[in-house]
Amino acid sequence: MKRIRSVKKYLSDIDEKGTFFIGVQVDSKIKDKLNENFKNIGKKEPLFIPNPYIGIMSERNTVGEIVPDKTKPKEICYKAQSWTVKHWDGTPQSGITEVPYLGYPKRFTPPQNFYFRYLENPKHNDSLLIIDKKFTNTHDEFDDIKFCINLVLEIFSEAETFIIKGKKLEPIIKKVPWEVLPKGEQIWKAFKDGKSYPNISKSERYLIKERFDYIESFKPDNEYQGTAGYTGYVVFCFENKQLYILDSVIYGNATYIFSDSWENVSKLSKKEIIQGNLEKKRIIHSPNWKRELKKELTE
């Protein structure tokens, strides 16, 4: 099963207003998927948030989603299209074209930011992987319950509910969800191998490199790559200008520019940043992106 429409089946054995967790029991099959995608789970990192390229639920959870707003009239939109031509001497030339089309304006839905927690019990060989939230069987929580069950199903093709008694779950450890790249190492090198983001198309990969190269042409002081809730994001620090640029690997999202202390911003989730309107500027990935970014960095 890949998706559910109703939570009734999963809540049939749970009392009304009873509390429970959503996850999977870690057997050999689940371990294989963990070892393949999340090598530090249960070793260095007890918490993790899924890579946004696992599927649509993981993308909605980690980076949010941009969907057409059909309540508004259509407008001119753009999509990237790669092309290759051969010159008269047989030499190939490739590039990317922004192709205009008539479509509905886009609406951004913030990410859910649900974490997973690994509960290891080697003595009884019954380790669990659960969403790091205690749910309550009430109608008000059905939307979150449904979302998390579908998130687990998307990653592991199975999902269960657990009533955990006698085990105190530690609260999420607050830490800065970024790691600095070695000085001089371009951020693009962290993504170009395609292993972390296997579903990026050729056109998207070209556009990612073009954006990152353009930002780096302004000589940032430091570059970071996102971990945890910021998987799929990178940050470029311009200390002299007091500007900090947060950009998404996913084309069609947006670039966020902050003027506040980066240490303060980095401790917040992307959801908190967006809902709090903490950014100085938000620049949509569009044909005008370079011009708008240059204005911010050179004014």
Reference 209, options 53, 197, 221; nearest CA is: 197
Please give the pLDDT value at position 125: 57
Question: Of the given ranges (40-54, 76-90, 212-226), which has the lowest mean pLDDT?
Answer: 40-54
Reference 39, options 195, 158, 148, 154; nearest CA is: 195
pLDDT band at residue 31 using 50, 70 and 90 as cut-offs: confident
pLDDT, tens digit, 9 for 90 and up, residues 278-296: 778 888 877 888 899 999 9
**Cβ(268)–Cβ(285) below 8 Å:** no
Residue 100 burial (C-beta neighbours within 10 Å; 0-12, 13-18, 19+): exposed
Per-residue pLDDT for 139 more than 90? Answer: yes
pLDDT band at residue 85 using 50, 70 and 90 as cut-offs: confident
SS3 74: coil
pLDDT, tens digit, 9 for 90 and up, residues 224-237: 766 544 456 677 88
pLDDT, tens digit, 9 for 90 and up, residues 114-124: 988 888 765 44
Reference 191, options 39, 53, 1, 14; nearest CA is: 53
pLDDT, tens digit, 9 for 90 and up, residues 157-185: 888 888 876 555 543 333 445 554 444 44
**Is the overall model pTM greater than 0.85, yes or no?**
no
Per-residue pLDDT for 95 more than 70? Answer: yes
The highest-confidence range among 77-91, 114-128, 190-204, 262-276, by mean pLDDT, is 77-91
> How confident is the model over 64-71, as a mean pLDDT?
88
Please give the pLDDT value at position 147: 96
- Cα(first)–Cα(last) distance of the chain, in Å? 53
> How confident is the model over 217-224, as a mean pLDDT?
83
Please give the pLDDT value at position 270: 61
Q: pLDDT over 90 for what percent of the chain? A: 13
- What is the pLDDT of the chain when averaged over all its residues? 77
Please give the pLDDT value at position 63: 82
Per-residue pLDDT for 27 more than 90? Answer: no
What's the half-sphere exposure (Cβ side, CA atoms, 13 Å) at 150? 19
**Cβ(264)–Cβ(290) below 8 Å:** no
Please give the pLDDT value at position 172: 36
**Cβ(154)–Cβ(57) below 8 Å:** yes
> How confident is the model over 87-107, as a mean pLDDT?
85
Please give the pLDDT value at position 186: 47
